[in-house]
Every structure is written in structure tokens, then in C-alpha cells.
Amino acid sequence: MDPDNKSVHMRLYSMNKREFVMVFIVLLTAMGLVLFIGLTGPSITLTTKISGVEVLKHTNGSLPQGPFVVKTPSLSVYNQRMWLIAVVQTDNKDDETYDKSFKIRMDIKGITPQHKTTDIVKVFKNNRTRHLLCKQQICGQVPIAHIGYIHYTHYMFEVDFYNLETFHQKYQVKEVMFYMSSYKTYNPGFTQMEIWFRLFYLLSAFGVHCCFANSLRKFPVVDWSYEQKWTVVLWPLLILFNGPIFPLTLLISNQLIGMLDGVFKVTFICAILFFWLCIYHGLRQNERKLIAFYLPKAILVGPFWVCSVIMVKCRRMNEFDDPAFSYEIDSSAYTVRTIK
């Protein structure tokens, strides 16, 4: 509240016990609904296992090099994304931890519903380094490819491993399992539930925001309390944080759509940081001038927002340009990007 006590009184300060109880009941109901859907709803991802040994029977390849030719199950836009991950199994029975770097080569083909095969334009042809971290018989998951948008009904991957000969001689690779998290996609049932869930909370948040703004409309803006002004600003950012353009990511294969979703999330988080800086500093300072009060905080928060947006942009561009890109491993892509 402003010190001159001329601002509009916040409803929070005039609520009685019954109204407080009703507010908490509504909040707990919303949280309970989220928990109930999470526990009883469909699983988030679907995983398909494919044995590398079985694949090699049809390709005349060898462990651990390959080539491994694997075909995905039938996919749709509701699968959202797809990951191809490899898990190596060995005969190693000691407690030694082994970290071996190796390279992969991969070709990708898309198969349409009419069973026409298309070479994907952005095919990964150069060797990409991966690390195989093993302890006893099971090695860690190795990310092979990530498809950010499902264009085709099926995908065909041809994967080769290099520089694993000495590892194979010492530990005897006995199996290479591929999943799709070795094939992994979003569950279409979960995607449909997510769309309706997002729509419900989007409409609810928009409705509450309209009611709140309408209750303040009869008062001049200069009479609004500091918290009320910030609520009007943060609420639309919260709606954007909820991802109102999410359905477009299923309909349009565009880097900009996916990047906007990340920018909305980054903007809301930075706005929350800016809000708390202003609130805590405002407890000791009543003069809130643009340059003296807000500008230093904007200079402090601004670099976080700019860096986050750049990282979101680089990640989306790399994921679309290179299916073998992994932001967890290929961190050099954030500092150096080769322009071809």
C-alpha cells in the first residue's frame, strides 16, 4: 500500500475468515486436480526397445560397429518429439568404471503414409563424438538422435559406431539396445490430455484476470496499489507462460513457434525476479522513479533475459538443423556455431 493511503484497498486486507477458507479450498482443489490427473492420467512417454543383435541379422553388420538400421513404429504429430537412445551391454563383471569416447555416423530417412521414402534434407553426415560410460555389464544411455517435429509416419535410422574396437576386445559387447528413451516419444494420449488441460487453465486464468481488471477499472490507475499494478502486469505473462501457442507446435513445423514458447517462459521468470527486486527494495524506498529505482534493476535482470533467449534460440536452431544435436553434450554449440 502507498504511504498516503489513497490507493485502492486490496481485497486481501478486507476478507473475512469464511472468504479466506473459500480461497484456500479453491487452491487446494486446483492442486488436488493436478495431482489426480498426474497419478491417474496416461504416462508421459512411450518407449520401444529394439535389439541391435536382431537388427544386425538383416544388415550383415557386426558388434559394436554396425550398421544398425532401425525403423520407428507408426508416429503422428501427437507424439510431439522422438528420441533415439542406445544402451550398450557388455560381459564386464569387475567394478571398474570405463569411459570411452567414440564417434557415430547416422543417416535418416522419412517414410510417408503412402510408403514413400524420402531422404531428410538435414542429414547428419559428419562424425559426432559421444562418451560411453560403463560400470560392470550396463553402460549409460547414449543419445543418438532427436526429432523435434514429427513430419513422417515412420523414420528409418542407419547408425554406425566407430572407435569401439579396443573396448569390444576388452569387455566383449554382447548387445546394443535401441530405445525410442532407445525409441522414445511422447504418449499421444498424454498429448491430448495436455492440450485440454492447458486450455482449461488458460481460460480459467484469462477469466480471473478479466474479473480482476474489471474490478479495478472504475478506479484511476494512479490510485491502484503497487501490488495491484504488478498483478496486472504479471498475470498476462503467466498466461503466456502456460503456453497458449502449444497447439501450433503440433500443426506447424517452425523454429519460431517453438522458440516463442521458450521466450515466454524465460520472460515470465525474469519478470518475477524483477518484481521481487522492486518489492523488497520498495519496502525501504517510497520514491520509485524510473531511472533511479527501476533502471538499475532492469540492468541487473536484463542480461539474464538476453542470455536465456539466446540459449533458447541456439538450442532450437541446432535441434532443427542437426538431429544428432544434444544440448547436454554438445555445449560448444552455444559458443561457436558453424555457418555453412
| % the chain with pLDDT above 70 | 82
Asked whether 77 and 194 are in contact (CB, 8 A), the reply is no
Q: Which residues, at least 6 apart from 160, have a Cβ–Cβ distance to it below 8 Å?
A: 65, 66, 67, 68, 104, 105, 106
Q: Which three cell numbers stand for residue 54?
A: 536382431
Q: What is the pLDDT of residues 8-64, one digit of tens each?
A: 566 666 677 888 888 889 889 888 887 887 787 777 777 788 887 787 777 777 777
Residue 236 is predicted with a pLDDT of: 87
What are the C-alpha distances in Å from 88 to residues 58, 75, 84, 167, 180? 19, 26, 13, 11, 15
Residue 271 is predicted with a pLDDT of: 92
**Res. 338 pLDDT band, cuts 50 70 90:** very low
Ramachandran region, residue 190 (left: φ > 0; alpha: ψ -120 to 50; beta: rest): alpha
pLDDT at 1 over 50: no
**Res. 204 pLDDT band, cuts 50 70 90:** confident
SS3 content of the chain, % helix, strand, coil (to 5): 45, 20, 30
Q: Which residue has the higher pLDDT, 317 or 241?
A: 241
Residue 11 is predicted with a pLDDT of: 64
Mean model confidence pLDDT for the chain: 76
pLDDT at 100 over 70: yes
Q: Which residue has the higher pLDDT, 122 or 106?
A: 106
pLDDT at 226 over 80: no
Residue 321 is predicted with a pLDDT of: 65
The type of residue at 271 is A
CA distance 306 to 242: 21
CA distance 147 to 192: 20
Predicted TM-score (pTM) of this structure: 0.61
Got the DSSP string for 260-280?
A: HHHHHHHHHHHHHHHHHHHHH
Asked whether 213 and 225 are in contact (CB, 8 A), the reply is no
Average pLDDT over residues 112-132: 71
Residue 3 is predicted with a pLDDT of: 45
CA distance 316 to 254: 10
pLDDT at 337 over 60: no
**Helix, strand, or coil (residue 312):** helix
